[in-house]
Amino acid sequence: MHIAICNILQNMKQFQYSMKPQDVVILLKIIALDTDDWQQKPLSDALKMSQSEVSQSVARSKFAGLLDGTGKKVMRLAFFDFLQYGLTYVFPQKPGPVVRGLPTAHSAAPLNSVIVSEESYVWPWAKGKIRGHCIVPLYSSVPDAAAVDVKLYEMLSLTDALRIGRARERDLAIIELKKRILHGE
């Protein structure tokens, strides 16, 4: 009896899916593509991830109800709710030391046109020209992917504003993310 229970628990572990930070990046990229006809290989190339990482992410997101049954269409309301209410708890971040990098959160568009701050936040990036407090990106290739995709860059920066921002930054980020995710702007 004890062995049977252990076997059942072991099998359950195989089917336990936990979200990973790159899942958020992939879902945002799918939204940025603005098509349900995307393919995994070009997506993995654009995000500088392996195709197996994208495939595993799709499986996790389908299981979590953030992608539809085909794995092609983002369930936008569910994803928006996750970003608004869960992201800061699941993938928290605190600003680190000053480094050179690519601006994020309120230091990047669109929030940098509304929020004036002496503190800059950046993703560490060798090609970066701005110095600011280090924010560890959701995935290591985020700065490279964001540098070539404005829509993705804005959504990732807004996502970081949710992860590290104060109430005002978070509120503004929610408004902007709602436009992009729920209304397709």
How far does Cα 140 stand from its chain's mean position?
A: 11
177 and 120 in one domain?
A: yes
Q: For residue 90, give the nearest of 79, 98, 101, 106 by alpha carbon.
A: 79
144 and 82 in one domain?
A: no
Q: Which residue has the higher pLDDT, 44 or 13?
A: 44
126 and 74 in one domain?
A: no
Q: Is the CB of residue 156 less than 8 Å from the CB of residue 169?
A: no
Q: Domain of residue 70: give its range.
A: 2-89
> What pLDDT band is residue 8 in, cutting at 50, 70 and 90?
low
112 and 81 in one domain?
A: no
141 and 117 in one domain?
A: yes
101 beta partners: 124, 130
Mean pLDDT of the region 131-154: 98
Q: In total, how many domains does the chain have?
A: 2
Q: Is the pLDDT of residue 184 over 90?
A: no
101 and 58 in one domain?
A: no
How far apart CA 60 and CA 133 sit, in angstroms, is: 31
Q: Is the pLDDT of residue 12 over 90?
A: no
Q: What is the pLDDT of residue 144?
A: 97
Peptide bond into 110 cis (omega under 30): yes
84 and 6 in one domain?
A: yes
129 and 116 in one domain?
A: yes
83 and 147 in one domain?
A: no
* Residue where a domain stops, chosen among 48, 67, 89: 89
Strands 130-134 and 98-103: antiparallel
98 and 70 in one domain?
A: no
pLDDT tens track for 43-99: 999 999 999 999 999 999 999 999 999 999 999 999 999 999 999 999 999 999 999
Number of H helices, E strands in the chain: 9, 3
Q: What is the pLDDT of residue 35?
A: 93
* Residue where a domain stops, chosen among 28, 63, 89: 89
What's the mean per-residue pLDDT of the chain? 93
* Residue where a domain stops, chosen among 46, 73, 89: 89
111 and 140 in one domain?
A: yes
163 and 143 in one domain?
A: yes
